[in-house]
Amino acid sequence: MNPRLKLLLQRPRVLLGMLVRKCHPESNGCPSCGGEPLPGTIDRRYGVMTLGRCSDCLLLFRSPTDTPIQSFTFYQKDYTEESVTELPGLRQLAELKAAGFSSKGDLTPYLTLMKQFYGDRGSKLVDYGCSWGYNTWRFQSEGFVSSGVEVSRTRCDYGRKELGVDLHYSADQLPSDFDIFFSSHVFEHVPSPAKSFNEARRLLGDKGGLCIIITPNGCDAFRKARPRWWHELWGRKHPNFLDDQFWKRQLAGIPHVLMSRSEDGSVPFPVECLTHAMLEEMRPFDLSGDELVVVAWLPKQDRCAQAI
């Protein structure tokens, strides 16, 4: 079915379901930590969905929230994003592979950063929320020992079969010995960003390692720069809206930087120039672009557990 038509047909059912859930108090608490929302509404969509901030972890989140079961069902059946969920035929797949999946975005800055930290020694990388594995394949082509995690069984199975990459339905199926945790446009979808971040810490194991998380930008700097686009970036598909306030609380005491990038290149994005020293300094960068990028060096588990 055409993805746009599928979305239009889903909308009445989705909005009615949200209206029903809105009446239940348990659908209004923070999905990440269970905390109560701060008073007031930050934004509103369709007269049903509201955006609030958790009083504990400071996450911006959509109300009504989804239960883990509702979230799982949505990503198995209803989630539609043409560039991500549409599985190519074999001829199109061959063309995409020949082009190195260049239409799926530029990984060069991140690859440069990873190789600055680890060199070219075949570091282990986990691609968290990898869809059908096109980035996992690209990382593998660049010399990384890459594995992927994808909750959608249809997309996970496709990547295993057609790309031959190491994909898994759950992070629980992977060991705790990775060097790099990479996640692009996933944390805005997950049932609990805090739980997913804890999975990042576990996957990096006792030694710790490099963590790169990319999401739509919920920061106030971006809201001031492009208020209409900021408003469009949260909702049914994106129940979590990650911003600097949430990440500063989550990463307290952990070396990291927060930066943003824009599609038109108007916001400087020197991610490939980052060093360990800059992460230790936690220096500020421009946060007015439409993508928020977190780069952190997650320390050994014992120190990390004390910091969270």
Return all residues near 270 (Cβ < 8 A) that are at least 6 apart.
259, 285
Residue 204: CATH number of its domain: 3.40.50.150
Mean of pLDDT values over 208-224: 97
Is pLDDT of 229 > 60? yes
pLDDT at 177 > cutoff 50 = yes
What digits encode the pLDDT tens for the residues 8-59?
A: 555 666 666 666 676 666 778 999 999 999 999 999 998 889 999 999 999 9
| DSSP conformation letters of the chain | --HHHHHHHHHHHHHHHHHHHHTSGGGSS-TTT-PPBPSS-SEEETTTEEEEEBTTT--EEEES---HHHHHHIIIII---HHHHPPPPHHHHHHHHHTTTGGG---HHHHHHHHHHHTTS--EEEEET-TTSHHHHHHHHTT-EEEEE-S-HHHHHHIIIII--EEES-GGGS-S--SEEEEES-TTTSS-HHHHHHHHHHHHTTT-EEEEEEEE---HHHHHH-HHHHHHTSSSS--EE--HHHHHHHTTTS-EEEEEE-TTS-S---GGG--HHHHHHT------SSEEEEEEEE--HHHHHHH-
Report yes or no: 255 and 202 within 8 Å, Cβ to Cβ.
no
What is the C-alpha to C-alpha distance for residues 147 and 201, in angstroms, rounded to an integer?
Answer: 16
Closest residue by Cα to residue 150 from 195, 111, 202, 186: 186
Place of tokens 């949430």: 246
**213 confidence band (pLDDT: 50, 70, 90):** very high
Q: Which two tokens stand for residue 207?
A: 């030694």
**Residue 42's domain spans which residues?**
3-307
Q: What is the pLDDT of residue 4?
A: 54
Residue 286 pLDDT > 80, yes or no? yes
The predicted model scores a pTM of 0.90
Distance of CA 162 to CAs 133, 159, 166, 171, 195, Å? 10, 5, 11, 21, 30
Alpha-carbon distance of 145 to 136, in angstroms, equals: 9
Q: How many domains does the chain have?
A: 1
Of the two residues 201 and 19, the one the predictor is more confident about is: 201
| Amino acid letter for position 182 | F
Whether the link from the prior residue into 64 is cis, omega within 30° of 0, is: yes
Average pLDDT over residues 63-85: 77
- pLDDT greater than 90 at residue 303: no
Asked if the model's pLDDT at residue 95 lies above 80, the reply is yes
Instruction: Give percent of the chain above pLDDT 70.
Output: 87
Question: Where does the pLDDT of residue 299 fall: very low under 50, low under 70, confident under 90, or very high at 90 and above?
Answer: confident
What pLDDT, on a 0 to 100 scale, did the predictor assign at position 9? 53
Mean pLDDT, rounded, for 118-127: 91
Percentage of the chain modeled with pLDDT above 90: 74
pLDDT of residue 305: 44
Place of tokens 């991140």: 110
275 pLDDT exceeds 70? yes
pLDDT at 308: 39
pLDDT at 25: 64
Confidence grade of residue 66 (pLDDT, cut at 50, 70, 90):
confident
The answer to whether residue 106 scores a pLDDT higher than 50 is yes
- CA nearest to 182, candidates 94, 248, 246, 117: 117
Compute the average pLDDT of residues 129-148: 97
pLDDT band for position 86 (cuts 50, 70, 90): confident
Which pLDDT score is estimated for 68?
80
127/259 Cα distance (integer angstroms): 20
Q: How confident is the model at residue 122 (pLDDT cuts 50, 70, 90)?
A: confident
